[in-house]
Amino acid sequence: NFMLTQPHSVSESPGKTVTISCTRSSGSIASNYVQWYQQRPGSAPTTVIYEDNQRPSGVPDRFSGSIDSSSNSASLTISGLKTEDEADYYCQSYDSSNPRVFGGGTKLTVL
Amino acid sequence: EVQLVESGGGLVQPGGSLRLSCAASGFTFSDHYMDWVRQAPGKGLEWVGRTRNKANSYTTEYAASVKGRFTISRDDSKNSLYLQMNSLKTEDTAVYYCASAPPFDYWGQGTLVTVSS
């Protein structure tokens, strides 16, 4: 089984840009798509990025996803930060044996 | 509008059973793989299991932590997904979400299961 490692927390000011990383422990990050979820307090997760870098309809283009094979990691970048972006963010990927593997989550504080 | 609505959560004693349901609407349920994902209080997301669609013989897979105790089923005629949970343990306490599998990745609002004596 592989693991996805995220920073426990990040913080940034409104209007700035923040990047959250997600590092895969084994197997290539590029071999299987990565999804990103936003979870506000008391709410269910919602998809903000699917298939590495695709945004569902309704998700603002301030959210973007990418992968970096050299570091075997994926990243979620949020630009023009708003207070409403304050939430927990989870990355997720898979392999042939594990349909869904989640990262531990990153708490984003917008202060 | 895509909707997934879970029900059936509640308080159950260790060793007991519970059946969760998930009612789907707004999309062609029968086409999609469906997952159960849980979240223990104050913790992260944990995949519980998956059922594939008819074209893939409704095959199922489970996380090691629930294999042999939990069973996922679906009724495409009712647009419904189920999770039968047996031999429940205190560590199964969590909010349980149903979700359509990526890339068509929608989640319900969750239902709380508390396993306690």
Q: Is A85 helix (H, G, I), strand (E, B) or coil?
A: helix
Q: Tokens representing B82?
A: 């189920």
**pLDDT band at A1; cut points 50, 70, 90:** confident
The answer to whether residue B104 scores a pLDDT higher than 90 is: no
Chain A hits for B37, CB-CB cut-off 8 Å, are: 100
Nearest to A39 by CA among B94, B39, B114: B39
A81, A110 in Cβ contact below 8 A?
Answer: yes
Q: Cα separation of B85 and B68, whole Å?
A: 10
The answer to whether residue B76 scores a pLDDT higher than 90 is: yes
Q: Which residues pair with A3 in a beta bridge?
A: none
Q: Tokens representing B114?
A: 């508390």
Q: Tokens representing A58?
A: 């309704």
The answer to whether residue A58 scores a pLDDT higher than 90 is: yes
Average pLDDT, chain A: 97
Q: B26-39: per-residue pLDDT in tens?
A: 999 999 999 999 99
Closest CA–CA distance from residue B107 to any residue of chain A (Å): 7
Look at B110 and A44 and tell me if their CB atoms are within 8 Å. yes
Q: Is A86 helix (H, G, I), strand (E, B) or coil?
A: coil
Average pLDDT, chain B: 97
Q: Name the interface residues of A facing B (CB cutoff 8 Å).
A: 33, 35, 37, 43-47, 50-51, 54, 56, 90, 92, 98-105
